[in-house]
Structure 1
Amino acid sequence: MSLSIALTEDIATCHALRRAVFVEEQGVSVIEEVDGRDGDALHLLARKDGRAVGCARVIVAGTTGKIGRVCVLADQRGQGIGIALIEAALDCMRQIEGVTQAQLGAQIYAIGFYERLGFIAVGPEYLDAGIAHRDMLRPV
């Protein structure tokens, strides 16, 4: 397997991946998934053997980089692609002067995944697009 993750300007491919995972698989409405923040974000695209298989975005606000829209196609899960996307997002943040903290909103079922990557759940559970989430933080 040849996996590559890089910053991308190919937002259309990221949107297609997000549509497959969030809209088609998880039932999130297109209106909620396309939030108008993509223009403010850095986008990471994961390709396995040349095929786009996952993506994530980072939005920086002050000293915090917020990781969001993390997705991996269903048939590609369990191969470390999600871990590689988060590590790439953290590496990206380390290159931005002043960013000291990473934040994300984790779907409840994925909290253990993010805890293994050093994130700590903070605050109460909340609904985002009708799906239970908790915010998580870690130093970059």
Structure 2
Amino acid sequence: MAEVWFYHLERRPLEAVLPSLLEKCLARGWKAVVQVGSAERLEVLDGHLWTYRKDSFLPHGTVADGDAHRQPVYLTTGPENPNEATVRFLVDRADPPDLAGYLRVVFVFDGRDAEALAEAREHWKRAKAAGHEVSYWQLSDTGRWERKV
């Protein structure tokens, strides 16, 4: 069973949070696939991951880049996992595929969006009912992610 983590965005946008979460995956030697809710958002995140810091970038690719199997981070709008990632991120209300086969699945949702919040609660219920280990993370006042009970 996968660890299924829910990251509740309240103070910072996805663009400020996703790069550091992906960096942690890469530091552990894990590949990641990021499933985005729309082609427009995929294009925005694709550009952002190349430029989010002046001194760094996140190596990644999309279907347009080819060689998907070689990408440490793969961005998609669909359920595929062509880089054989062990971690799957679901952002912008992306519809999750089967969670089996992943070490970790990370739902990142906007807590200021009532529909996104309701969907996250449904995904939580389904993941828990399927036997996955679920946890909820919230950004503290100091800017660190804290696991909540």
Higher relative contact order (CA 8 A, sep 6+): 2
TM-score range, shorter chain: 0.3 to 0.5
Structure 1 or 2: larger strand share? 1
* Normalised TM-score (structure 2): 0.33
TM-score computed with the length of structure 1 as normaliser: 0.35
